Amino acid sequence: MERLQKILAAAGVASRRKCEELILAGKVTVNDKVVKELGVKADPAVDVIAVSGKPIKRESKIYIMFNKPKGVITSVSDDKGRSVVTDYLKDIKERLYPVGRLDYDTEGLLLLTNDGDLAHKLTHPRHHVPKTYHATVERVPHGKDLEKLQRGIKLEDGMTAPADVEYHDIDPEGKFATISITIREGRNRQVRRMFDAIHHPVSRLKRISFGGLYLNNLQRGKHRRLTAEELRTLQDAAEQSERGQEQ
């Protein structure tokens, strides 16, 4: 659900200020009912919204996989002028919003869509959609340290849920190791804090999988549309996680 003036502006009706004027003038209807108050919300995918009797164009759903580089903000804009993910998506006309977040210093798989319902299901804290990362950490953690992550580890905001953890690559000199870790939560900087808790700070973090989808050979800074099969996989992951919470 979004504010009506925002929906109208996104559909290209006019500027947001002008759209507010149209609403106050009684020229906008939602499901054939005149709306004259600002702040009214609607769902552009469901509600029939019209201006002076003419329905606005509904936005088609789009689903994008992006390999986010390090040093890019997971946002559609930044008041400090820093690079944001939508800077890399200039060829796409539809409004896109990130599904969840990747930290400024984290790279890898990021999904973007204008499907608010699916995005909500994938990011809601109760739904536990799996996300897999390759975390390169200082020194090589002992197996007992990884077992702590597997059982769940205490952070300042509480115990984490159990994680799937295994060695991915080990430096022969023992200076670093890359660990594959799958979590089903979305706390702020969670993976980094988990490794800090076992005294093996993360030097590089890359998400390689989200909800059953994999980055594979998508180049850094590049994006592509999801295939129909990938979209079904993502929808299944969201539904399975939702059902799991209801049981």
Strand partners, 17: none
Q: pTM of the full predicted structure?
A: 0.79
C-alpha distances out from residue 195 to 55, 135, 149, Å: 52, 9, 8
How many whole angstroms separate alpha carbon 19 and alpha carbon 38? Answer: 10
For 52, other C-beta atoms within 10 Å of its C-beta total 10
Tell me the two tokens of residue 177. Answer: 């190791």
Give the per-residue pLDDT at 28: 97
103 in catalytic set: yes
Q: Stretch 64-76: mean pLDDT, rounded?
A: 96
> H/E/C letters for each residue in 157-174?
CEECCCCEEEEEEECCCC
Sequence ranges of the domains in the chain = 2-55, 63-125+213-246, 131-210
Give the per-residue pLDDT at 114: 84
Q: What's the pLDDT band for 182 if we cut at 50, 70, 90?
A: very high
Looking from the CA of 163 toward its CB, the CA atoms found within 13 Å total 26
Fold of 2-55: 3.10.290
Q: Using one digit for the tens of pLDDT, what is the confidence trace for 87-141?
A: 999 999 887 889 999 999 999 999 999 887 788 889 877 778 999 999 999 999 9
Q: What's the pLDDT band for 247 if we cut at 50, 70, 90?
A: very low
Q: Stretch 147-165: mean pLDDT, rounded?
A: 96
Would the CATH topology of 2-55 be identical to that of 63-125+213-246? no
Give the per-residue pLDDT at 242: 60
Assigned CATH for 131-210: 3.30.70.1560
Q: Is the dihedral of CA 120, 236, 245, 208 positive or negative?
A: negative
Q: Using one digit for the tens of pLDDT, what is the confidence trace for 183-240?
A: 999 899 999 999 999 999 999 999 999 999 999 999 999 999 999 999 999 999 888 7
Average pLDDT, the chain: 92
- The single residue of 47, 87, 103, 105 carrying the catalytic annotation is 103
211, 129 Cβ separation under 8 angstroms:
yes
Domain 63-125+213-246 = CATH 3.30.70.580 = yes
pLDDT above 70 as % of the chain: 97
At a CB cut-off of 8 Å and minimum separation 6, what does 56 contact? 7, 8, 11, 13, 44, 49, 50
Q: Using one digit for the tens of pLDDT, what is the confidence trace for 52-62?
A: 999 998 777 89
Give the per-residue pLDDT at 79: 87
